[in-house]
Amino acid sequence: MNRMLASPSRLLSVILVAIMAPAACVTASRPRAEEVPASSAAAVVVQLVTDLDTGTLVSDTEQVEEIGETEYTADGSVDKKIGEQGTLWVRNAHVDGRFFFERYYQEKFVGRSSRLEIPAADLPAGEHFIEPGHHRFVIAADGAITSADPDIRVAGRTVSLRLHRVAILPVDATKTGPPEFRLTPAEFGLLAALPDWKLDPAALPDLKATFDTRKPGASQASSA
């Protein structure tokens, strides 16, 4: 995940990240993707969900809300914004390094959804992986899909990957009490790294930079 929402005062309280341990957040009522018999040549549906029972798409739980506080002065009180808190989900997730959950039209980013339909012809028989996390599923010669991954459930032509919730709370260490009552504005990003990656503070990416998810590492633009 290489870009956070741009704001100098940002409180990110929950981020869905991948180990894949990205994350199950609130439960919403949304019908599960239609299950298609494995014997058909229908597209394969890969979806990232909050849990395997309801099949709620993590993209349906994404939200950002304003956080404020009341400042009292001799002239009265003033409500002011100090940041935002959000429920987000992992960026740059993909299947086999070819099929991303971000969507483009005429080479322009138009949005993203955690439900991805892949034509059957593009997923031949053999092993396939959902990244990050290297979650494996197998398509047999007859089109049947199976997986031994405990976070994956296969129903016909639908492969659901359960994500896991990770709460990130920037807090004021000079105060005591529950973290929810010590939140402080902070701008930060959450990045995934290879095992042999070494931290170089001088080379960290700009948190306000936008990247083409199809070409990780190639900066497109910087948001104000």
User: Does a structural domain hold residue 7?
Assistant: no
Residue 203: phi, psi to the nearest 5? -110, 10
Q: What is the pLDDT of residue 156?
A: 94
Q: How far apart are CA 142 and CA 133, in angstroms?
A: 27
Does residue 95 carry a pLDDT above 80? yes
Residue 6: the pLDDT is 36
DSSP 62-90: -EEEEEEEEEEETTEEEEEEEEEEEEE--
Answer whether residue 201 is part of any domain. yes
Instruction: For residues 60 and 124, give the distance between their C-alpha atoms in angstroms, rounded to a whole number.
Output: 30
Q: Is 118 helix (H, G, I), strand (E, B) or coil?
A: strand
Residue 8 lies in a domain: no
Residue 211 lies in domain: 14-222
Range with the lowest mean pLDDT among 21-25, 102-106, 156-160, 206-210?
21-25
pLDDT of residue 136: 97
In a domain, residue 4? The reply is: no
What is the rounded CA–CA span in Å between residue 211 and residue 168? 23
Number of domains in the chain: 1
Amino acid symbol at 160: S
Query: Which spans in 24-173 are helix H?
Result: none
**Is the per-residue pLDDT at 21 higher than 60?**
no
Domain for residue 29, yes or no?
Answer: yes
The token pair at 84 is 């935002």
pLDDT digits (tens, 9 = 90+) for 120-179: 999 999 999 999 899 999 999 999 999 999 999 999 999 999 999 888 888 888 999 998
Residue 27 CB neighbours (<10 A): 13
Would residue 6 count as lying in a domain?
Answer: no
